[in-house]
Amino acid sequence: MGQSAARFDYGLPGDGGAANDRVQERPLGWGQEGRGINPLAVSIFADRGYLRAEMAEDAAAAGLRVAQTSDLERLVADAASPALGDVVLVDCPVIDGLELAALSRLDSRAAQSGSQLVVSTSIGSLDDVYGCLDQSEAQILVTPSRAERVIAMGRVLARTGNRVRELGEEDRLTLLRLTEQVTNIAARLEQLSSGNNVDAESASAFRFNGESGEAGPAKLDEGTDRLVRTARPPLPDPRLVRKIIRQRQLRARFFEGDLFADPAWDMLLDLTAARVEHVRVSVTSLCIASGVPPTTALRWIGQMTDAGLLQRVDDETDRRRAFITLTDKAADAMARYFAELGSSANAMV
């Protein structure tokens, strides 16, 4: 990150996992210097001491005020403590039952207080973590690089300024794609430096010709001059959809995968086949189907959920788990798309 804009005096943690590291910081970011604006307070919870220091350094450089750093044990020890900052950064690559319960409580508290929650985890714990975070609109990062953490904090600053909610649908999609480009550029720079080779209800990045629900668009009945609803065609044969998916994946054997990255469409195809097969799709499985890194896939899942394409469905037998499915609106659009293709769809594979 270059020169740090803050000074940090960390207590000696001994084993690298002190319960509450004292942090003294003097951030000189845009939020303080000469503007009379109180910087956002950030709370950091991570078991790895070096990572707490790294996250605190980056937060201070972004103009945030580091209020506290601690390990995960403090979240588990007391449901009402500690007090939350405006921004809460949590790292839990491997999570157990007690930590899951604490994370669920944290999600509820963040939703009530308005705190912005950023949680990093591993692909192995993703389903459990995702199942706990259903209230606060938390950002979830999967084995993130330092650059991805910084970008997540940038998204927090954009949210708190209400800039994203003011954007139109085209601008929101452009911002999403720009974020992915910045992530890729930052990752490349990180490799080089280390020496290694808008309101969701009113604005949508996706358009639909049909209406929500099972009914299709209205057409004029020539006999009665009345508008009637056309029945929705059936969803395509899942075997056909799976063939299309395999064909799309085959390209990665001969070309760079990023060249054909289209996570939204790949996820729609996978969920369309699963809907007909009556198979539930976990968030981890959907991230894999997207063909892009899990953190990127999670951003797309969030965008598509806001757009009314996808929806979260909690597991009836285990409230800690959740699945992703198409909305009726999205299923209707996919059915009409394949109906429009007709027999030519078979020629695609």
pLDDT tens digits, one per residue of 150-192: 888 888 877 765 444 444 555 555 555 555 655 565 555 555 5
Q: How far apart, in whole angstroms, are the C-alpha atoms of residue 103 and residue 95?
A: 10
CA angle 80, 106, 134 (to 5 degrees): 145
Half-sphere exposure of 323 (CA within 13 A, CB side): 15
C-alpha 189: how far from its chain's center?
23
- Residue in the structure block whose two tokens are 């985890």: 121
Q: How far apart, in whole angstroms, are the C-alpha atoms of residue 26 and residue 63?
A: 9
Taken in order 128, 131, 134, 137, is the CA torsion positive or negative?
A: positive
**Highest mean pLDDT (candidates 3-17, 190-204, 210-224, 335-349):** 335-349
* pLDDT above 80 (res 207): no
User: pLDDT tens-digit profile of 131-144?
Assistant: 999 999 999 999 99
pLDDT value of position 261: 85
* pLDDT above 70 (res 10): no
* pLDDT above 80 (res 228): no
pLDDT value of position 165: 44
Q: Is the pTM here over 0.95, yes or no?
A: no
Helix (H) or strand (E) holding 14: none
Tokens (6 digits) for 76: 């588990």
User: pLDDT tens-digit profile of 301-346?
Assistant: 999 999 999 999 998 888 778 999 999 999 999 999 999 888 766 6
Q: How far apart, in whole angstroms, are the C-alpha atoms of residue 21 and residue 52?
A: 9
Q: How far apart, in whole angstroms, are the C-alpha atoms of residue 22 and residue 192?
A: 33
Q: Tell me if residue 40 falls in helix, strand or coil.
A: coil
**87 beta partners:** 42, 116
**Dihedral pair phi/psi, residue 88, rounded to 5°:** -125, 120
